[in-house]
Amino acid sequence: MTPRPYDVLFERALTRVEPERIHHAAFRAIRAAAPVTSRAVRLPSAPVQALGLTFPHPLGLAAGFDKNAVGIDGLAALGFGHVEIGTVTGEAQPGNPQPRLFRLKDDRAIVNRMGFNNDGSEVVARRLAGWRSRLSSTNGKAPVLGVNIGKTKVVPEEEAAGDYEKSAGLLAPYADYLVVNVSSPNTPGLRDLQAVEKLEPILSAVRRRADEARPDHRVPLLVKIAPDLSDDDVLAVADLALAIGLDGIIATNTTISRDGLASPAATVEGIGAGGLSGQPLTQRSEDVVRLLRGRVGPDLTLVGVGGITTVDDARRRIAAGADLLQGYTAFVYEGPLWPRRIVRGLAGA
C-alpha cells in the first residue's frame, strides 16, 4: 500500500521535532488555514440529538488540544462537529516542567504530563465572549462547544468545589455543555475526587453556579472519568450521575497503565509518569462505555473517547452505547484529514 502523504510527513519530519513544539506549530497552521478549510470540507449530514443539542455528526475533538479557546473555528473547519476546549482551571497555571509530551510510535500512543497548563478561567471567559460576539456579528456558524474544567494545582482538596465553581460561573455563559474533569493523572490528588463522596459536592456546586450564571438556560453538565477505575467504581459514578441528574459521562480520560505496550520497556520507563492515550486504550474505553450504558439506561448521554482510530473503532464504540465520540491522539497520528474520514465512513459515504 502506498503511504499517505501525511504518513510520510509525520515519519520523516514531524517526529524529528519535539512533540510540544510541533503541536504549537501545527495548531498555528490549523488556525491560519481555517478560511480555506471551512470552504473545502463538505461532510454528509448525520445529526445526533444529545444533551438537548443538535450535533452535526457524532465526532468531536477531545479536550487537551485547544486548552485556551484560541482555535475553535480552525478545528471545526477540519470537520469536527463539536470542540471541547480546556482543561481550564480557576487560576492560570504554567503546568508541569518540560519535556512533558512524548510519542510512543510503536503503539500509536502519546504520554502527557502537561499538568493543566492554561490561561485560567477569567482570561478564557473573556476570549470566549469575544468569539461569541464575532460570530454573532458575522452570522458565523459555530460548532457545538464544550468547556472542560479542572482543579487548580495549588488549591487544596478541601477547596476544590469552590475552584470548580469559579470556573463554572465564568465559563457557563459561553458553553454549550460543561465537563468536570476529575480524571487527569497529572494533577496530584485529582483522581481521588472521582470517589463519589468527594465528587458529589463538586458536581452539585458546579450545577448550582452554572444555573446562577445562566438563569435562562440550563447548560448540560458531564463528568469525565478515568479508564483505571474499577468496574464497581464506574458503576458508582453511573449511579451518582442518575441520582443528581447529571446530563452525561465522558469515558474515558488517559490511563496510568503501561500494560501490553509494544514499545521497548526502556523507552517507556525513560518517559516516566503521565497519562497514556491512543490505541492501547481502545478495549478498556469501549468496555467502560458498555458498562455505563448497561447501568444508566438509554437516556443519559455517553461520550466515547480513547483509542478511536478507524471507522470500525468508531462503529464499535457507538454499538457499545456511545451517543457521541471524541478523538485526539488519532488526530495527531492520522493527520488533518482524519475527522472527515471517520465522519464519512460512519455515514457510509
Report how far residue 247's alpha carbon sits from residue 300's, in angstroms, rounded to the nearest whole number. Answer: 6
C-alpha closest to that of 59 among 179, 171, 143:
143
For 62-214, list the strands marked E by DSSP. 82-89, 101-104, 109-112, 144-150, 177-181
Nearest CA among 53, 115, 61, 50 for reference residue 85: 61
pTM above 0.95, yes or no: yes
DSSP per position, 195-261: SHHHHHHHHHHHHHHHHHH-TTS---EEEEE-TTS-HHHHHHHHHHHHHHT--EEEE---B---TT-
pLDDT of residue 1: 66
* pLDDT of 294 over the 90 cut: yes
Q: What is the pLDDT of residue 42?
A: 80
What mean pLDDT comes out for the span 181-196? 94
Residue 5 has pLDDT above 70, yes or no: yes
N-to-C CA span, the chain: 22
Q: Distance (Å, rounded) from C-alpha 204 to C-alpha 317?
A: 29
CB 256 within 8 A of CB 287: no
What cell numbers appear for 98 in the block? Answer: 518540560
CB 237 within 8 A of CB 223: yes
Provide the mean pLDDT of the chain: 96
Question: Which of 258, 249, 326 minimizes the C-alpha distance to 289?
Answer: 249
Q: Which of 84, 86, 71, 248 is nearest to 167 (CA)?
A: 86
Nearest Cα to Cα of residue 190 among 149, 221, 246: 149
**Per-residue model confidence as pLDDT tens digits over 87-134:** 999 999 999 999 999 999 999 999 999 999 999 999 999 999 999 999
pLDDT score at 229: 97
Q: What is the pLDDT of residue 43?
A: 87
Walk me through the domains of the chain, giving residue ranges and CATH numbers: 5-40+56-347 (3.20.20.70)
Active site residue 184: yes
Q: Which of 184, 230, 277, 285 is catalytic?
A: 184
Chain centroid, CA 266 distance in Å: 29
Question: Mean pLDDT throughout 310-333?
Answer: 98
pLDDT exceeds 70 at position 349: no
pLDDT (mean) for 153-172: 97
What count of other Cβ atoms lies within 10 Å of the Cβ of residue 99?
Answer: 13
pLDDT average, residue stretch 135-152: 92
Query: DSSP strand E in the chain: where?
Result: 48-50, 53-55, 59-61, 82-89, 101-104, 109-112, 144-150, 177-181, 221-225, 248-251, 275-278, 301-305, 324-327
Cis peptide before 89 (omega within 30 of 0): no
Cell of 258: 503501561
12-58: pLDDT as tens digits? 989 999 999 999 999 999 999 998 887 777 888 889 999 999 999 99
For 281, which DSSP code?
Answer: G
